[in-house]
Chains A and B, each alone.
Chain A
Amino acid sequence: MATAINQKQNFLKGIIKENPVFVMLLGMCPTLGVTSSAMNGLGMGIATLFVLLMSNIVVSLIKSQIPSKVRIPAFIIIIASFVTIVEMVLEAFIPFLYEQLGIFIPLIVVNCLILGRAEAFASKHNLLSSIIDALGMGIGFVIALTVLGATREILGSGSIFDIKFVSENANTFILFILPPGAFIALAYLAALFNRISIPTK
């Protein structure tokens, strides 16, 4: 089975058919928590993409060396290490983004998307398939977070990527910046996404 994988489909499934946010509803904590603006969503998405890619690579490389009874603790250690690396690098070189994302960076460790891909995919497939799976899933996650962030920012702040398009004193839907707005926006986007991407019978 591992050899017969169609790599193009493998890549695309993460973006459309098995989109981690809109279809599988994985990784809801960062999805709802940091997407108050498009920039935050994009930053969080890229940080997660990096961790996902690195952990998939390492897990797929050492999968035959890890006894199956201790595979989960081993995966968690690998993921936690990469998250800590991301945190240190962000703090040193992109302090602006580090401040914005705050507590949500260490929380990438418990993002079930990453452990889920390590367990369900990388531990069963070869290196190339795992890299492509991570890229597909990661990019699907980035797109979803950016779209959700942009939607909330447009409705809530009247701006996109911090560029205002309404006047300074205009009333915006502040609700969409607050936590309940995250749930509402996510629900509508997921519904819309599934309506478009899943062919009706």
Chain B
Amino acid sequence: MSKKESTLLNMILSLLIVTVAAGLSLGSVNNLTKGPKAKAKLERKINALKLVLPQFNNNPVADIQMKKSEKAKDSVEIYPAYFDTNLVGTAVIGSSDKGFSGLIKIMVGFTPDGTIKNLVVLDQKETPGLGTKMKDEKYIKQYHDKNPSNFNLKVKKDGGKIDALTGATISSRAFSEAVEMAYEEFVKSEE
């Protein structure tokens, strides 16, 4: 087994071949996974919508409204849900970057009078075992059927009515902030 000499031509050629082969294989894998990737993302969104909204029979993903917001860097996504022609609820994605690490994204479902029906955590990178408990039923329940117009969403330490997670006050604060933001956007979208 003789190694190729390290001449300039050999080096350029072998690196060229390796990179071209790598590029081609990556391109083909990307083509293969593009469909399933988009599908998995959409499925997650629809599942979340089904969880936070009352029964609906339109396609909220198609009726999406994008709103500019002063608080979030991206525009806010608002999904209206109709049953036949009646508006039965609205799902808003609220976010906060005040968490322990990274952005927290929460989808909040409101009934038309502004009461929170349910919420789902879409994105979070909080500490496993501490901040991640925000996904637990026990914590989320505190927000169920509350109307932010007469219910202070802040954690108890900040004068609100929410019991923060043990050892994860920062995460809980960010959670409340994301829900508050979703409510503000919801109120604005009603106007």
Contacts and interface: CB of A to CB of B under 8 A. Distances in A.
Contacts of B129: 36-37, 156-157, 172, 174, 177
B144 to A, nearest CB: 19
A77 B18 contact: yes
Nearest to A64: B1
A37 B128 contact: yes
B5 A67 contact: yes
Contacts, number: 83
A12 interface: no
Contact of B3 (A40, A67, A78, A174): A67
B159 interface: no
A101 to B, nearest CB: 11
Interface stretch (A43-51, A88-96, A138-146, A183-191): A88-96
B7 interface: yes
Contacts of A174: 129-130, 167
B167 A74 contact: no
Contacts of B127: 177-178
B26 A81 contact: yes
A84 B15 contact: no
Given A73-B15, A74-B18, A177-B127, A91 B4 contact: no
Interface residues of A, number: 33
B92 to A, nearest CB: 22
B33 A66 contact: no
Interface of A: 36-37, 40, 62, 64-70, 73-74, 77-78, 80-81, 84-85, 88-89, 91-93, 95, 102, 156-157, 168, 172, 174, 177-178
21 contacts: A36-B128, A36-B129, A40-B128, A64-B4, A66-B14, A67-B5, A69-B6, A69-B11, A70-B14, A73-B15, A74-B14, A74-B18, A77-B15, A81-B22, A81-B25, A85-B26, A88-B30, A91-B40, A157-B128, A168-B138, A177-B130
Q: Which 5 A-B pairs have the closest CB atoms?
A: A92-B33, A92-B36, A69-B6, A81-B22, A177-B129
Given A77-B18, A91-B33, A92-B33, 20 more contacts: A62-B18, A66-B4, A66-B14, A67-B4, A67-B7, A67-B11, A73-B15, A81-B26, A84-B26, A84-B29, A85-B26, A85-B29, A89-B33, A91-B37, A92-B37, A93-B36, A95-B44, A157-B128, A172-B129, A177-B128
